[in-house]
Amino acid sequence: MAAVKQRDWWERVTIAVPYLWLLVFFLLPFAIILKISLADPVIAQPPFTPTFDEQGSLSITADNFLFLLTDKLYAVTYLKSIVMATAATILCLALGFPMAFGIARSAPSTRGVLLLLIILPFWISFLLRVYAWMGLLNNYGVINNMLIWLGVIDQPVRLLYTDFAIFIGLTYSYLPFMVLPLYATLERMDIDLIEAAQDLGASRTEAFWDVTWPLARAGVIAGCLLVFIPAMGEYVVPYLLGGPESLLIGRVLFDEFFVNRDWPLASAVTIMLLLLLVAPIVFMQRNQAREIDAQQ
Amino acid sequence: MSEKQKDFIRIRGVSKLFGDFVAVDNVNLDIGRGELFSILGGSGCGKSTLLRIMAGFETPTAGTIEIDGVDITHLPPYERPVNMMFQSYAIFPHMTVEDNIAYGLRKDRVARPEVTARVDDVINLVKLGEFRKRKPEQLSGGQRQRVALARALIKRPKVLLLDEPLAALDKKLREHTQFELMAIQDQLGVTFIVVTHDQEEAMTLSSRIAVMEKGCFLQVGEPKEIYEYPTSRFVADFIGTINMFEGTVTQLGDETIIVNSAEAGTNLHALGDHAVEVGQHVCIAVRPEKIFISRDEPENADDIKVRGVVDDLGYFGNLSLYRVRLSSGKVIQVSSQNRQRSAKRFVEWEDEIWVSWRPRSAVVLRD
């Protein structure tokens, strides 16, 4: 009896630790951000009004959120971030799927090397890698010089500080996050299944859509979320590669916080971003739950 | 059915090389319509490669394959009148039993009512009625095997290829399924080609067997022919158990040859018209069940008789196995049916006994 009780107690502790972690480092900061987003900015230390005034009565405002909804700049920025992140996710998927498939089907001896090559960029600072892209994309960079040398163009094309540069940067940065989960699902897939489909009358393309794609769905969803979510809030890539006019939500957030010192508005921007991201996360959660259900 | 077509499948000079490795080496074979043909061999003998060539997953380096008079050598898998049952069964895990089975018809754009009717038919044939809405992970190994079979049969292929169809089942279920497979084959009249490493499976299932080794067919024939008249040491040894005595031909008669064998410690007679010469090195092979054991010297003068000591014996209920050490030191296997009910053994360990066999029971194998 005592032993069972002790095990119960241990189980509770092991479950409690991660929850406590999430509470302290996620929920609590979130509550603070929420609180700030409902305050007014003031030039003071801290730069926002307290939630309870001197009389002790609640003093909150929805002004920040209303401002986000009325000023067109924010709507446009959110929309542009979504478009950019979506485009980068689609390109990552289009590039990452064949890569993951190729790695999963390669000989076991070369598979390790290929996976290492995917992970290798993580060993170099993210910032440095984005700087390297500046070198590649600028007017006298490798790409322009190459195109001039080939005679395709005679004047350098502006590549750096454009939306195109952001798009390339995002795709480059998050490609490994697409390849790895896809590889994990494709590697487990039985090659016989594709042959069985072909044997039963499916062409290569049909076999792909009937068998490979549905069986890789879990990996596709995981990969897309791993790319889309961070790409949505990305700050470094648009800051370094994008032009002054290419405003993405990460950049706006940074500017509100550090340049305008409008903490309440910056917090409201964050909360809004979170709400936008919750939708795909919930979708994934439900999808996973359904998959687990189906397996039982 | 009309007269059986003997060369329904014509395999001519088929070879397959992987780099330097010769997986299939210039194979020729005719398989008749409605046959249940087995390709038997150890792992890496090329049997699976040959099956994959027939299915269209490998292109042969040389040679042609015709089915019912049509050259299919270069057709893609999805255009061949052939279906395959995979060793892993390869059932689509994201589809129900029903959808798995209907897949082939849907790919052929068969009208919906006909799909339903034909799915019903095969589901009844393989007795999966109550499982049709289930997902594959909710099925047992035997049920999955049936799904794989039903899925491969639904397109009414001219030829069904079965890659180790019973290997994943446990022994009892395997025996049961064997007979079911034969019954289904008989009922549908589809030509079955089974690849297997299990000689017992091949023996019971097949109308004919091809024994394969190093990419070549060593012998093709009916199970009985292969068992009783093996033409090579490999086949004799691979199918069942056999005792082999090395020796040299000393005399050639009209009907018999005499072989001097140090291993047997005596001259061995064998019947038959064998293309051998005096002085040639041969091997006399005798199956364990063709050898008799007795305490006293056997009376029949024609029989080959050798003295030996019982080294080991095993009781298997229906039969007993003996390992007998001959005076030359060679150990042979003898088996005998336990015809009489008796708690007492008629020979014991270390008993001195005689072993004997009829000359016609021995097979002469050349090198």
Digit-coded pLDDT (tens) for B91-121: 999 999 999 999 999 999 999 999 999 999 9
* Beta strands per DSSP E along chain A: none
Q: Which of B87, B93, B151 sits opposite A215 (nearest CB)?
A: B93
Q: Which of A254, A269, A256, A274 is nearest to A47 (CA)?
A: A256
Q: Is B134's Cβ below 8 Å from some Cβ in A?
A: no
- What local confidence, expressed as pLDDT, does residue B47 receive? 95
- What local confidence, expressed as pLDDT, does residue B168 receive? 83
3-state secondary structure of A242: coil
- What local confidence, expressed as pLDDT, does residue A295 receive? 56
For residue A228, give how far its alpha carbon lies from the nearest alpha carbon of chain B (Å): 26
Query: What's the whole-number mean pLDDT along residues B201-207?
Result: 91
Query: Residue B217 is inside which H or E element, if any?
Result: strand B216-221
Chain B residues in contact with A210 (beta carbon < 8 A): 92, 103
Report the alpha-carbon distance of residue A50 to residue A244 in Å, rounded: 34
Is residue A222 packed enough to be buried (19+ CB in 10 Å), middle (13-18) or exposed (0-12)? Answer: buried
- Residues A258-270 as b/e (b if ≥16 CB within 10 A, e otherwise) read eeeebbbbbbbbb
Report the alpha-carbon distance of residue B204 to residue B185 in Å, rounded: 14
> Could you read off the pLDDT of A22-64 as tens digits, one per residue?
999 999 999 999 999 998 888 878 888 888 877 878 888 888 8
- In chain B, which residue ranges form alpha helices assigned H by DSSP? 47-55, 97-107, 112-125, 141-153, 171-188, 199-205, 223-228, 233-238
CA dihedral A170, A171, A172, A174 (to 10 degrees): 80
Q: Which of A203, A211, A295 sits opposite B78 (nearest CB)?
A: A203
Q: What DSSP designation does A189 have?
A: S
Q: Is A216's Cβ below 8 Å from some Cβ in B?
A: no
* Whether the predicted pLDDT of B223 surpasses 80: yes
Q: Which of B106, B78, B193 is nearest to A196 (CA)?
A: B78
Percent of all residues in chain B with a pLDDT value above 70, rounded to a whole number: 98
* Whether the predicted pLDDT of B37 surpasses 50: yes
Could B78 and A200 be called an inter-chain contact, meaning their C-beta atoms sit closer than 8 Å?
yes
Query: What's the whole-number mean pLDDT along residues B125-130?
Result: 90
Q: Which of A192, A200, A214 sits opposite B155 (nearest CB)?
A: A200
- Residues B219-256 as b/e (b if ≥16 CB within 10 A, e otherwise) read bbbebeebbeebbbbbbbebbbebbbbbbebeeeeeeb
HEC assignment per residue over A43-74:
CCCCCECCCECCCCCECCCCHHHHHHHHCHHH
Do A53 and A39 meet the contact criterion of CB atoms below 8 Å apart? no
Task: Give me the domains of chain B, ranges plus CATH numbers.
Answer: 9-237 (3.40.50.300), 241-366 (2.40.50.140)
Q: Which of A193, A200, A215 sits opposite B107 (nearest CB)?
A: A200
Domain boundaries defined on chain A: 72-261
- What local confidence, expressed as pLDDT, does residue A293 receive? 66
Is residue B294 packed enough to be buried (19+ CB in 10 Å), middle (13-18) or exposed (0-12)? Answer: middle
Q: What is the CATH number of domain A72-261?
A: 1.10.3720.10
- What local confidence, expressed as pLDDT, does residue A47 receive? 83
> Could you read off the pLDDT of B308-363 as tens digits, one per residue?
999 998 888 888 899 999 988 899 999 988 887 777 777 888 889 999 999 888 88
Report the alpha-carbon distance of residue B44 to residue B78 in Å, rounded: 26
Sheet of strand B62-67, all strands in order from the earlier edge strand to the far edge:
B21-31, B9-18, B62-67, B70-71
Q: Is A281's Cβ below 8 Å from some Cβ in B?
A: no
Q: Which of B85, B103, B84 is nearest to B95 (CA)?
A: B103
Report the alpha-carbon distance of residue B73 to residue B9 in Å, rounded: 12
Is residue B323 packed enough to be buried (19+ CB in 10 Å), middle (13-18) or exposed (0-12)? Answer: middle
Q: Can you read off the two tokens belonging to residue A195? A: 């042959």
Q: Can you read off the two tokens belonging to residue A83? A: 């478009």
* Whether the predicted pLDDT of A172 surpasses 90: yes
